[in-house]
Structure formats: structure tokens, C-alpha cells
Structure 1
Amino acid sequence: MTLQQLACFCSVVDAGLRVSRAAELLQTTQPAVSKMIRAVETAVGSELFQRRGNRLVGLTDTGREALSLARRAVSAAADLSTLAGRRGGSASGTLRVATTHIHARYALLPVVQRFARLYPGVSLTIAQGTPAQIVAWVEQGAAELGLSTLLGPLPPATVALRSYDIERCLIVPPGHALLRARPLTLEAIARHSLIAYDEGFSSGQAVLSAFRRQGLMPRIVLRATEAAIIKAYVGAGVGVAVIQRLAVDSARDTDLRVIDSGDLFPVSTAFLTLRRDSFLPGYVTDFIAMVAPRWTPARLQAALATGRGIRRGGTASKDPEPRLPQD
């Protein structure tokens, strides 16, 4: 079994199980891809794909385990290349970050701009998904870093670094009755049509849970997964919404009015997730520090070594606010 065959196996999965697409991405032929897949299956001693005729329709249980191991092997080979490249004094490599739309569009934009200037030789990819998908991608090795809130326990192979808090606010169109609500209450908001995040995202869960705890259920007229869509429909007068404060810019979003929601809705926390066995080149630790300045490279390495201030494999840190090791 060769590294090329393992990379081919991963590429077929990433191509949505389409052998033709994988062959195109790998700049080879479909028969060559099929041959490499069979070689991996022969080496493993079991079929990795579920098949329907000549079509691949899914992964077997063995295939899912093999995929995780194959991604780690391919990633480790890339890490070795990066390590060798560092001897030449120029950073090069690949950094794949999995995150949600809100972080990609608002929180990461200035980080990526700075990172691109400092590391022009590093290929940066940002993939968007739900928090559950993001953690799974990190666990499987499809992404080096994840950035999102956490909806459940972490897989044993991963750790999470507390990065920054996310406050919420209420947005309404100009002239809306809620602008005159004193004080603003959940009952007052629930009397109006609500545009909400899908509950696959923590913002959707957190906001609706706040209403439910008070025995309220606002009329939801639209569910969406992106802040830009929610803002557009609020601006058009379809309803009101509770949204992350970082997603609203009063100078840019002139068709919206922002109302401080106080402590009506909980503050969420964004976490950076990575595999416990990750190799962290300098450009990765620098990216982490750009996202969350508390995690300087020295403090990050110390925290990973001691486990203090981080979440490991489904267990939470004992510290509500991480006490970082001193330099």
C-alpha cells in the first residue's frame, strides 16, 4: 500500500464518491483510480466502499475507520514535507480551516488578510459546515483546525481551545415597535414574527431555548443558516432576529436597527478544535494566536502538554475561564 493509493482513497471520498471527479482532480484516469482503490482494499483485506453495481454509494464500517487512518497518514506526510521545507527558511504548506459562515465572514476576515501577508507560501482553505460537521472533519483529518461553538462532547482524538465570546443583539427594521420597548423582554419579542437560525447551529438552539425556558414560542417565519440572509429579510420587514453582534455593522447595515438584548440571551463561546496528535508548524500556531491572542505559541504548547485550559475528548476544563500557564 502506497501513500499515493491512500491519497487516492481520500480523494474519492472528498469527491462525493465520484470516481470520475476524483480522477479529474488527481489528473489521472478512472481505471487508474479504481485500481488504486482496489489495491487499498486488498491491503486492508476488506471492502471499504458500499457498491451498487459499478457505483460507489457509501463507506463500510471498515471504510470509515480506514478513512480516518488514511487522512492521518497523508497529513503526516505533508507535515514531514513542511518540516523539510522549513530548513530552507521559507514557510510553505497547507492549512485547512473548517468553520461556520459567521466566523468565516466576520471573525476570520482580518485574520486571513494578515495571515496571507505573512505566509504567502501557505495554501489556506476555509470549509464551511455545521459545528458537528466541523468537529468530525477535524477528527477525520480533513481539516487541521476547526472554529465554531461546541454542541456536544468532543471525540477522544480532539481538543478544543477557548477562543472568544460571542454576544447577541436584536435587529429590527427602522421604525419598528420594539425600538420603543422599555424594558425589552422576551415576551415583547415573542409577539413579533421571528427569523431564526437553523437549530443545527448553536445560535439557533441558544435563542429558542431562551424563549422555551419562559414558556414562550415565537412565530418563526423563516429559518436560515447565514447571517447575511437573516439580515436581508429583517431589513425587508419580514420579521425580527436575534443575531451575533459581530455580524452587524451599523455603518454598513443601514437598513437595520440594533437593540441591546442585555442578558436575555446567553453569550456563546467560539472554540478552536484540533487533533491531539497534530503536528503544529509555526504558521499554524501563528494562525491560532491571530484568532485567539491568549494562545501564544508558548502557552499553546504548554497547555497541550498539561491539559490545563483546554477541553479534551468530551471532557471540559475545570477552569470556567482558562488559567493559562505563564511564560
Structure 2
Amino acid sequence: MELRTLRAFVEVIRCGGFTEAGKTIFATQSTVSKMVKQLEEDVGVQLIDRSGQRARPTEPGLLVYQRALDMLAMRDELLMQIGELHSFKRGVLRVGVPTVGGDTLFAPVIAEYRRRFPLIQINLIEHGSAHLHALLRGGDLDVAGILLPVESDLEFRKVRREPVVVLTPEGAYPARKASISLAELQDQSFLLFQQGFALNDMILAACHRQGFVPNVAMQSAQTRFIAKLVEARLGVAFMPRMVAMADRPGGVALLDLDDPDIAWDMSLAWRRDGYLPKAATAFIDLVHEIVADQ
């Protein structure tokens, strides 16, 4: 039972004849007659009373007519929804944002995306770069904010490069001091992010290059909590400048980190060989429009 056959049958009932139905679906009278006959053979009963001047449905024919209307309506609705997906009026965007800096960097983009595409459902996951990469690789995300460098199985666009600054208790260093090296901090307690955060790996690797293993006093996923611990003089911390500026309490000072190899290079990444929905493409373009470095 094909939808085209059901359409022919419906038009015969609507128009009251085979010739008129043929004009509606651009088919000859004999073609329409054959299609309806085939439908009757498929269901095993007569569907049209051909005895009068107008073609009328039999009792089973009326039932088939009503069901056929429902099926054709569902077909039309499906085609409309597919068309909306193609033009990304509807759909789902699965996006991952970094816990560190995700709110500052991507919240304005998500708000504008919602305004432009209100019918697209946004599924948002916050985590560190390593976990977001795993979700991308597994097909659980369409696109994610990940620190550079990214693995070769991902495509990416650069989004923002931010210097990493050191958060120290107010007054711990002379006010005129603008920058500090890791070597000068090796006797301090380090307040780092949790495992899976790429910034941690950069800091630890840089300490290793300078010949020491830092004393990690505490780890957290919350930037504001870490900043408050610095204010309480439990240690020093490291954050992208824009994050530190947004989350710094009054009792915390910021110093530039004197290490050219450490920077917060944020990218927007997606699977190299995966399908990228139009909803995700639109998000990538919007990130570039609103927050990406020019």
C-alpha cells in the first residue's frame, strides 16, 4: 500500500470520479483506475461503488478514506518538519562548554542563538576539555569549546586567546609588581582545577619544565570558590584573565604569569568525520560573530 495509491483513492472520493481525480494528481483516468483497483486487491474488499454517476465509497471504503486522510496529513507534516530541520528552524543543538570561562565566553552567544532560533532545543553540557573531547568523539555532542591543541580527529575554529594570570592574596607581593614567574611561586601552595581541566595540565607541565613539583593544596571545578580560597590566603591560583576579572573577590590581586608557553587558547571543535547539523553550523558562525578574536 503506497501513499501515492492512497492519494489517488482519496482524490477519487473527493472529486467523485476517476477522470477528475486524474486531473488533480496529473495522471490519466486509466492509471487512477488501476491504482484504486490495486488498493482494493491489497485490502481484499471493494472500496468504491461504481454503479452511480459519482464514485462513492463503500462502508469499508469510507474507513480507508478516513485513515488515508490521516496518513497523508502525517506525510505532509513529516515533510514540513524535515524542511524545517534542513533550514534549522527546528532541531536540537548539543553543545559542550568549558566549566572555566564557559559562562563569560559562551553565555552571550547562547542567549543570542536562542533569540534567533527559538524553536531549536539546546542541550548544554559543562565540563573540562578532556571530557568534552570524549563526548565529541563518542557522538554525544555536536560542537564543544575545547582548549588548544585539539586532537587530529577534530576540526576546530580558534575562538579566543587569553593570557593566564596568577591570583594572589592582596598585599602578598609589592603593589608595583606586575608579573611573576612560576619559579617565584614554587614555595606557594597551588589551588588548581580538578583533573580533566586542560589548564591544570599546562600549569603542571610548566612547573616540571622549571624543575619542581608544586604543592597542590586543593582542587575544585568552581572558579569563584578557588578565588575565595586565594582571598583566605590558602594559596595561589591560575585563571584566564577574563575569568579572573569576573570572579575576583576584593582581597585578591592579579599578576601576569611570566611564561610565554602558557595561554588559554579556546577553540570551538567538532568531529572531523562526523555529520555536522545546520543548527551546529549556525552556532559556530555565531560564536565567530560575537566573541571570536578577529
For residues 123-162 of structure 1, give each alpha carbon's deviation from its aligned partner in whole angstroms, at most 9, with x where no partner exists.
112112332321222222211111111566344xx42223
CA distance in 2 between counterparts of 1:160 and 1:182 reads 34
CA contact (8 A) 1:96 1:125 kept: yes
Instruction: Give the 3-state SS of the residue equivalent to 2:245 in structure 1.
Output: coil
Report the equivalent of 2:215. Answer: 219
Residue 100 and residue 192 in structure 1: after superposition, are their counterparts in 2 closer, same or farther (change >3 A)? same
Shift of 1:278: 1.8
CA distance in 2 between counterparts of 1:240 and 1:82 reads 53
Paired letter, 2:192: A
Report the equivalent of 1:233. Answer: 229
CA contact (8 A) 1:181 1:188 kept: no
Shift of 1:185: 2.7
Report the equivalent of 1:121. Answer: 119
Residue 260 and residue 82 in structure 1: after superposition, are their counterparts in 2 closer, same or farther (change >3 A)? farther
Residue 167 and residue 180 in structure 1: after superposition, are their counterparts in 2 closer, same or farther (change >3 A)? same
State which of 273, 277, 281 in structure 2 corresponds to 1:280.
277
Report the equivalent of 1:46. Answer: none
Paired letter, 1:84: G
Report the equivalent of 2:65. Answer: none
Paired letter, 1:130: G
State which of 123, 126, 129 in structure 2 corresponds to 1:131.
129
CA contact (8 A) 1:178 1:189 kept: no
Instruction: Give the 3-state SS of the residue equivalent to 2:217 in structure 1.
Output: strand
Count of paired positions: 215
Paired letter, 1:222: M
Report the equivalent of 2:67. Answer: none
TM-score, normalization: structure 1?
Answer: 0.57
1:271 lines up with 2:270 in the alignment: no
Report the equivalent of 1:84. Answer: 83
Q: Among the aligned pairs, what percent are the same residue?
A: 20
CA contact (8 A) 1:185 1:264 kept: no
Report the equivalent of 1:260. Answer: 256
Which structure has the highest strand share of the two?
Answer: 2
Residue 272 and residue 81 in structure 1: after superposition, are their counterparts in 2 closer, same or farther (change >3 A)? farther
For residues 20-71 of structure 1, give each alpha carbon's deviation from its aligned partner in whole angstroms, at most 9, with x where no partner exists.
xxxxxxxxxxxxxxxxxxxxxxxxxxxxxxxxxxxxxxxxxxxxxxxxxxxx
- Between the two structures, name the one with larger relative contact order (CA 8 Å, sep ≥ 6): 2
Report the equivalent of 1:290. Answer: 286
Instruction: Give the 3-state SS of the residue equivalent to 2:155 in structure 1.
Output: strand
Residue 143 and residue 237 in structure 1: after superposition, are their counterparts in 2 closer, same or farther (change >3 A)? same
Instruction: Give the 3-state SS of the residue equivalent to 1:108 in structure 2.
Output: helix
Q: Which of the two has higher C-alpha Rg? A: 2
Residue 243 and residue 143 in structure 1: after superposition, are their counterparts in 2 closer, same or farther (change >3 A)? same
Equivalence map 1:200-211=2 (5 Å): 200-211=196-207
TM-score, normalization: structure 2?
Answer: 0.63
1:160 lines up with 2:156 in the alignment: yes
Paired letter, 2:210: Q
State which of 167, 174, 188 in structure 1 corresponds to 2:170.
174
Report the equivalent of 1:197. Answer: 193
Residue 293 and residue 256 in structure 1: after superposition, are their counterparts in 2 closer, same or farther (change >3 A)? same
Paired letter, 1:94: V
Shift of 1:208: 1.6
CA contact (8 A) 2:142 2:276 kept: no
